[in-house]
Chains A and B, each alone.
Chain A
Amino acid sequence: MKPSIIVSLALPLALAALPAAGAKSQKPPVKQTAPAAAAAEDKDATTAEFEKFREVMEDSNPAELFEMKGEELWNEKRGPKQVSLAESCDLGLGIGVVKGAYVQTPRYFADVDQVMDVERRIVHCMVEHQGFKREDIAKKPFSNDTHTPEPVSLVTYVASQSKGMKIAIPQKHPKEIETYRIGAEVFQYRAGPYDFSCATCHGADGKRIRTQQLPNLTKPQGAIKSYLGWPGYRMTGGVMHTLQWRMNDCFRQQRFPEPGYVSDSVTALLSYLGVNSNGYTYKGPGIKR
């Protein structure tokens, strides 16, 4: 069975088991208390509901279906060259090694003399070792309700193999350090019709857009929130997304033009967020609103 079909079956069941979570999109009732306090209360209630929902989902996380698909794709001989990624792709810890690879990327790869994040490396392997065309992969790189690109499933599988491990993104090679430093500047760069940078929303503690709390990604305790739960099964739209998509969608909301898929800029940004999260434990692919 296709993951999308299983998900569409499993999800209503899970939702039915927890009606409170299903109602989370409704506007909270109007209360006649001090507005700021009431908003904080409502937010807490919504968060609590979602946390409960997440607990219920923990044993049947839809992300697992994409992990399974990704594992198949990793092990199968595929592409024009009929080679498997398991026998050809080095994610930084040796050919075919997936355990711990996710929490140690972005990292420097000597064969390309470049820093790559995990999705970029997987795409690199698909092109170089399996013979897929980069243009074909980059044409529609993000999931929608009818299509989950192969790199998304592969990243989800690789990420699942780092569950419970500490984030330890290396900062040894000069290019790793340079990528982090450039990423910090990408994060602060204001431009576009709204004068926004990443830092406009994610550069201070305790801010919200509407009721959505905004982690301060310049600090470790905030940055880890950008790492945890991704790749994530997103309730909105019911699709699996990776951090590549998350960065892309942030730039959309920032009113920027679109960053290239698996481009240097995105790698730099992921390096900044990832290194800032170092030392925290990664909990594996998650569920997002």
Chain B
Amino acid sequence: MTIERKITAALLAGAVFATVAQAEDRNYRAEAIAMIKKDFRSRGIAGYERVQEDGLQAVCNRSGNRPPEAIAKQLEQDQLASVKLPADGKLMGDWKSGEKIAQSGRGMTWADKPGIPGGGNCYNCHQLDPKEKSFGTIGPSLYQFGKLRGNTPETQKYVYSKIYNAKAFNLCSEMPRFGHSGAIGEKEIRDLVALLLDPASPVNK
């Protein structure tokens, strides 16, 4: 983020914050955050530093996940600029491996062991392969995602970037920033892109 952008974002976020705070005699949100910082502690790989919201989370937390459009657009651009595309330009991997990654809900909890790659958690919230009946509905169905959109380089780049950092397209999206947070790596994201876009993937049958 450039200095100018940081300042603009901070000013705008401050304006949002002041509006919300004005409506309350007390700032219960600040009290809640202070309480969480007092009560929580590291366990396993879930370090204490996680209680600290980052800039994007702060904007979403302070605006009830509805930031003013100007802020949202600007911060989405920043998030998009930080997406690291594979150096070799290859964005589609193996859909069969992608299906396994999509099935796994593991990763990043205090019960998960360090160094073991996390899963994509995809079926937790999305429908993908129609044969898998156990799918969640927090996110939209992705059945026939590629069949409806094709798999042009632009679409591949969009899907890779969306999985890497969902907030680049919808600032306060419920979807985690899987690449940004390091929850999954380049290979895993490629395989998930294939699961969504490869014509041979069951998602597109």
Interface residues of A (CB under 8 A from B): 27-28, 30-31, 35-36, 38-39, 42, 178, 181-186, 188-197, 200-201, 206-212, 214, 251-253, 255-260, 263-266, 268
Contact = CB atoms under 8 A, between A and B. Distances in A.
Most central of B133, B136, B138 by chain A CB within 10 Å: B133
A255 B35 contact: no
A194 B176 contact: yes
26 contacts: A28-B133, A35-B133, A38-B133, A39-B134, A178-B28, A181-B28, A182-B32, A189-B61, A190-B60, A195-B57, A195-B177, A200-B138, A200-B174, A201-B138, A207-B137, A208-B138, A210-B123, A210-B134, A252-B109, A255-B46, A257-B48, A257-B110, A263-B38, A265-B38, A265-B40, A268-B32
Lowest 5 A-B CB distances belong to which pairs? A185-B32, A263-B39, A194-B176, A193-B181, A258-B43
B29 interface: yes
Place the interface of chain B in its size category.
35 or more
Chain A facing B: main interface SS: mixed
Contacts of A39: 127, 133-135
Interface of B: 26, 28-29, 31-33, 35-36, 38-43, 46-48, 50-54, 56-57, 60-61, 64-65, 108-111, 123-125, 127, 130-131, 133-138, 141, 143, 167, 174, 176-177, 181-183
Chain B facing A: main interface SS: loop
Nearest to A28: B133
Contact of A190 (B43, B61, B135): B61
Contacts of B131: 30
